[in-house]
Structure 1
Amino acid sequence: MAGLTLSQASRALGKSKSTLNRAIKTGRLSATRNEDGTFSINPAELYRAFPEPSRNTLPERPKEPDRTTVPDDLGSRISLLQQLLEREREAVADLKEDRDRWRQQATSLLANQEAAPAAPPLVKRHRWWPF
């Protein structure tokens, strides 16, 4: 099957050529470069990277009273983000424990330093040159 040019692909999707070009450069969309420097894009690859607009909309859950509708995909994202948030909270708690231990150690070192006798004053040495 013949590939689509960048212009044909952008018209078919309703996206700009620069969006498709950026997707090719980032690796989201694979395309082959022709001898004249233009891209040839396989339509199957095009619709893999950019689903058709009719399939692009997410199915919504049935409406429940006193709740906002959340697409199914967003529900899984929310649960993933909640798990990540819980991990971050655990990491913060560990860091706070470490901070408290270091603070206690620093306080005890300062207390020991204050209790230790002061070092004898340094004797000022005379320099050879008077200036």
Structure 2
Amino acid sequence: MVYTLGEAAKATGKSKATISKAIKSGRISAEKDESGTFRIDPSELHRVYPPTPSTKQEETPNSTPANTQNYSEIKALQRLLEATQERLADKEDVISDLREDRDRWRTQATGLLSDLRTAQEKAALAAPTQKKGFWRRLFG
């Protein structure tokens, strides 16, 4: 078995340019065939660059009934999630509006209360209090 430049790159996880530089610098020995492509011996290649572990995944058909069912469930759940997020955003807006109203009412009530206090204080200062004598207090 002999690797081409592309196969050697896949087997080691390196780029074709890296392997080509290693061949040209003499780190890896390779032969050129009549078409001009490199023929690299696997033992020579793996002496310099260790092989990468093969990570072939099992192929699963895309249109199995389970995948179709899962896909439809995922879509339904996504729609439900979007609707829930929309309702949550609406409720957060309502809460924000209610808080603003509460703060506005609180400010207004505080202002009215302070106005009432100052009016009462002015009335108390403006009205002179007459001292009633003993007989007037007693008989009215």
Q: TM-score range by the shorter chain?
A: 0.3 to 0.5
Structure (1 or 2) with the greater helix fraction:
2
State TM-score, norm by structure 2. Answer: 0.36
Larger relative CO (CA 8 A, sep 6+): 1 or 2? 2
Between Structure 1 and Structure 2, whose CA radius of gyration is higher? 2
Q: TM-score, normalising length from structure 1?
A: 0.38
